[in-house]
Amino acid sequence: MPQVLEFKLPDLGEGLTEAEIVRWLVEVGDVVAIDQPVVEVETAKAMVEVPCPYGGVVTARFGEEGTELPVGSPLLTVAVGSAEGDLPGDLSGNGADGAESSGNVLVGYGTGAPAARRRRVRPEAISAAAAPLAEPAPVPVTAPAPTPGPVPAPVPDEASGPVAVVSPLVRRLARQHDLDLRQLTGSGRDGLILRADVESAIRAAANGTAVAPSVPVPVSRPASGPAPVSAPVAGERIPLRGVRGAVADKLARSRREIPDATCWVDADATELMAARAAMNGAGGPTAGPKVSVLALLARICTAALARFPELNSTVDLEAREIVRLPAVHLGFAAQTERGLVVPVVRDAQSRNAESIGAEIGRLTEAARTGKLTPAELTGGTFTLNNYGVFGVDGSTPIINHPEAAMLGVGRIVPKPWVHRGELAVRQVVQLSLTFDHRVCDGGTAGGFLRYVADCVEQPALLLRTL
């Protein structure tokens, strides 16, 4: 007889604890192959297609599109055949205990196996496949139940007394807003407290109402005395989650922990633009991809970091040590429809301008299509932020924690400039360096920025090594 296996949301790596279902790639009754992507989820770092390690028939799905699930929650169940003829086609099991599985560890993204052609199985076959289960099968999303999967017994909260909460996300959200979960009545099955219940209580508190176990009631006001201050007008509320939430958390942490300072300088980029044009024109029409200004600036940064390694470091607060890092993993800010992301060019110190440019192009395309993996978005040691693409000249960058510095680059525009003792129109750019004052003093930061500016203004000597 077929065996029904439950596939849970796997550990997506890099400390991620939850993911939001963006799009289901299979339906109940579909036949799936081993390692076939079955759902697309969004984490705080990337969009990920999650492959199922089992081959068989999908008997249930858990979670509607838009639902946020913690790691370890059920995603779907698959009926796997244990003998020839138990399931249609070629899905008879041949693994241990009749369970067909890849055995791959799913961390961050799939194994790259090609997706199998979607097939459907008649409903009676699904029912027969689910029959051997000793326990009732979990409720699929097609059922009217408002929450995915069976509801476990109430879990004791930090305070005394049982609370009907299963999601650690809900508990964390309540703690962050000092809400007593025992005062809420959940709208989920069997009184389960959902995220929506906690968010509703938060909104009620912000609007000046007290939350009773079921229905919010207005807060009583004094009969005399000064007129009470009107409650704030309710506007559009956008949850801080996904990429936006991750950016907010990281920037807030940077401001809390890092004593940063910023210095800036204007530089004449005319010669850099001329050198770039010469490099791109040297190979003729059959040459490879053009070298971008960002790639040249990235290469200049790696040369500057070799001279000022203090800025390619991090601070170990517990050990009270500055850790200078041996490799430059260069992050660059990229604006996408999902928000700001910072892909990382690994080992940038060992790449020339063409290699850096090619990797920036590949990562930018992956960011645009939402295909960056968590590994491609973490581990940076220094960040380059080209905000000039937004048409602005200057900014004060916020350091990408736990890094020690970020270089910001404004737009390159024609401006009046004194060149060789005469007033001329030159291509001018403003460079801004924000640095962690714990790792170095202003002299080191100024030396780094001045070296970068000198390379921008006189790139000939540096370009020989690119």
pLDDT tens sequence across 19-55: 888 889 999 999 999 889 999 888 766 778 889 998 9
Which residues does 301 contact at the CB level (< 8 Å), separation at least 6? 328, 330, 348, 382, 384, 407, 452
Measured between alpha carbons, how far is 136 from 130 in angstroms, rounded to an integer? 9
Mean pLDDT of the chain: 78
Give 192 or 293, the one with higher predicted confidence. Answer: 293
Torsion of CA 102, 105, 108, 110, to 10 degrees: -10
**pLDDT (tens digit, 9 = 90+) per residue, 119-168?**
555 554 445 444 444 344 444 444 334 444 444 444 444 444 455 654 55
Question: What are the two backbone dihedrals, phi and then psi, of residue 22, each rounded to the nearest 5 degrees?
Answer: -95, -45
Residue 394 confidence (pLDDT) above 50? yes
Q: Beta strand pairing status for 382-386 and 405-409?
A: parallel
Q: Phi-psi bin for 9: left (phi > 0), alpha (psi -120 to 50), beta? A: beta
Q: Beta strand pairing status for 330-332 and 382-386?
A: parallel
The lowest-confidence range among 204-213, 230-239, 261-270, 375-384 is 204-213
Kindly name the residue from 177, 401, 419, 437 that is annotated as catalytic: 437
Under a CB-based contact definition with an 8 Å cutoff, are residues 381 and 403 in contact?
A: yes
Q: What is the pLDDT of residue 414?
A: 97
* Residue listed under structure tokens 């809900």: 170
Handedness of CA 69, 73, 79, 83 (dihedral sign): positive
Measured between alpha carbons, how far is 204 from 199 in angstroms, rounded to an integer? 9
Pick from 40, 39, 48: which is nearest to 16 by CA? 48
Residue 206 confidence (pLDDT) above 50? yes
Residue 226 confidence (pLDDT) above 90? no
Alpha helices by DSSP H, 292-441: 293-307, 353-368
DSSP assigned state of 44: S
What is the b/e burial string over 333-342, where b = at least 16 CB atoms within 10 angstroms of the residue's CB? bbeeebeebb
Q: What is the pLDDT of residue 209?
A: 56
No. of helices (H) and no. of strands (E), the chain: 9, 24
pTM, full prediction? 0.58
Active site residue 437: yes
Q: What is the pLDDT of residue 222?
A: 45
Pick from 269, 274, 276, 271: which is nearest to 292 by CA? 276
